[in-house]
Structure 1
Amino acid sequence: MATPSSYCVKIDTLNGCNITLFSRCPPKTLISRRSFIKCSNSYNWRRCLQINSPRRIVTRTLVASADANHIDDVEDVEVNKDADLEKKQKSGQLAKRVVFGLGIGITAGGVVLIGGWVFSVALSAVIFAGSREYFELVRSWGIASGMTPPPRYVSRACSVICALMPLFTLYKGQIDVSVASAAFVVAMALLLQRGNPRFSQLSSTIFGLFYCGYLPSFWVKLRCRLLAPALNTGVGAAWPVLLGGQAHWTVGLIATLISISSIIAADTFAFVGGKAFGRTPLTSISPKKTWEGAIVGLTGCILTSVLLSKLFSWPTSVLSAIGFGFLNFFGSLFGDLLESMIKRDAGVKDSGSLIPGHGGILDRVDSYVFTGALAYAFVSNVLPLYGV
């Protein structure tokens, strides 16, 4: 901090009492402290300064002014540093999101193309991580303060059961009996535990089996169980024989690719549309979502579904492709809002920190939880002959 004696005050007798603050004074312009004190006690201190200082330049103890200027300078520097640091952090987070997003997208695309047990095992790993995040959210302070969470051994057992559901779906085709049996065992374990069993423990645990295990397993049904060949697609005709040839391109593979691509388009278009045109909040569950963004996301989802249906020649009806796009959008939106509601009650921003720049697994796959079941039901029950 600059010393008070380093500032000069010029007294201009022609302009009344105007005082101007200069920069650092040369040593020869400084007068003695005794003269300044003598003048400061005088009634006509300006005249006194003129007499005692022929050069009309004096030093004055501007401690308050110096401190104020110094504080302002420090605050400006700190604000600039904070702004630069925040800008660098945002740039770093954006770079992480792009890098890891591309990595996840390429890996997921390869897993979907391979299908079979590779797809099921990869889905099981994602389900296990997601179920662990779900039960941690249930045990968080925000939710646990209003209910009794399940014991840790029950939540860990449920995570393992959820992870096994895609494998049962792949080799058995149906898991309804398995899910019902698992729910019965978990319910008995909760009822026979020590202490006072609570209904909140049972409800949160059974919902975890349904949300984290049963619903995502429909992606295995959609990708691996709909084996009707998509004979009209030109991509299948050019597919190498060593990789399965045209028989590799089934209705399940094309439906999975269109559904996942439509969800990605819906999220991307909704984000861009919300940033550009968003004015009207969609719901209090997620304040950042707007009606304008939802409409743009719906448009992007339908366009993606129609364009890919033309590329793959499936489904053959444009109306079916539009209906498929509608279904994918509303399934993804509902899943996103449901996970936002869980995080809001838990009092957290992200479900976890497993993926740098993206948060947790549930933050990335929340839009896919319900969509697989809806897509499978649409293709197997609504489209005649599976849309071929």
Structure 2
Amino acid sequence: MPEQDFREKIAIAGIGYSRSAENPGAFSKNSGVDVLTLAVRAAREACADAGLAPKQIDGAVMYQIFDDSVRTNQVLSALGCPAVNYASNLVGGGNYASFAVMQAAQAVYHGIANYVLVYRALNGRSGVRIGHWGAGAGGGQNRVGGEAQFSSIYGVAGAASQYGFEVRRYMELYGVTSLDLAHFAVNSRSNAVKNPRAMMRAPLTVEEHQASRLISAPYHLFDCCQETDVGCAMIVTTAERARDLRKRPVLISAAIGGGANPVPNIEDTSLIHLGPRLLRAADVTLDDIDLFEGYDAFTDMPMRMIEDMGWCKRGEAKDFIKDGRISLDGKLPTQTHGGLINEGYCHGFNNVLEAVQQLRGDTEDLCPNWHMGEHTYDRAVCRQVRDAKIALNVSVMGSSAIILKRDES
């Protein structure tokens, strides 16, 4: 399939979150309901956003890790879908945040399904806590298997300690400090303050970041993503069908990846391989990209992605992020919703949904009529990027990525 044939033929027609009367912000530490309920709530909101009846869905893609979610057959049955032509249950984490959308788009492009639901749902705080996979490594009933058994005995007992090796190497090679990570964290929090969905909405200062406790050196508390109960969903269909639905479509220009890519050094991300190919497939340049949503399980990750995509050279992100260049009115607005470290952790899928909202111009913020696409651009209340047309979303460490484009037709 030539890349130009696929480009902008498929669209995201609707998005949704697992809202409820008890949890209107969608992201929480204790949903009080099971994961199936979270997934169905998000799916129904996505359908309503698109102007579709749930029974029109005929395909689904989901991803999970550590058996923390619900499979497509359960969700589609709960939605009352009468016929299913495509279903995919991916086993993996943040590497699938962009890839799941790509897989759904391929199913639609090849005519297998008409409307594909993509979702990620988990009780990541009150249920299966992903960051604790190394607990009990000493034996007993909590023994660690697989590849983790060879690292857990050395104290690598979760994502913070795992990625801590990478960021430490990065910092020592390029003179990056914890203070540099703090500047990234403060920018993200300034966006989260204006996001009603965000779990962390109190203003954050560099001094507060530096004073927060260490989780796994060099990561401080405010360098780390949340543990969250949430469901996020979207509807993928053809661009032509989407144009007849309720909301302005967001077109998929290109997508790539899906798994770990061999990199020369531990401080590298897979974007050194995938980035140039992705830009060619979408027929865009870095200067064309209006906003960047990078997988920020930890603050250094988007910084390294910015470098590996080519916005600046290796080790220069610490300077690139200063002087407002990643702010809402900067050269490259980044983590416009506050990211995984503030809004909440839906294994990166919420970053994709944020990009969709930004491109549609109806970003959820504190503006009185945000839902009607009316924004003040007063940065005390508004986080909508001005005239955003193209967005780049990247999954964990550049393992998959997607370029989205506002439909101008």
Q: TM-score, normalised by structure 1?
A: 0.29
Whose strand proportion is higher, 1 or 2?
Answer: 2
Pick the structure with greater CA Rg.
1
Whose helix proportion is higher, 1 or 2?
Answer: 1
Q: TM-score, normalised by structure 2?
A: 0.27
Query: Whose relative contact order is higher, 1 or 2, with alpha carbons under 8 Å and at least 6 apart?
Result: 2
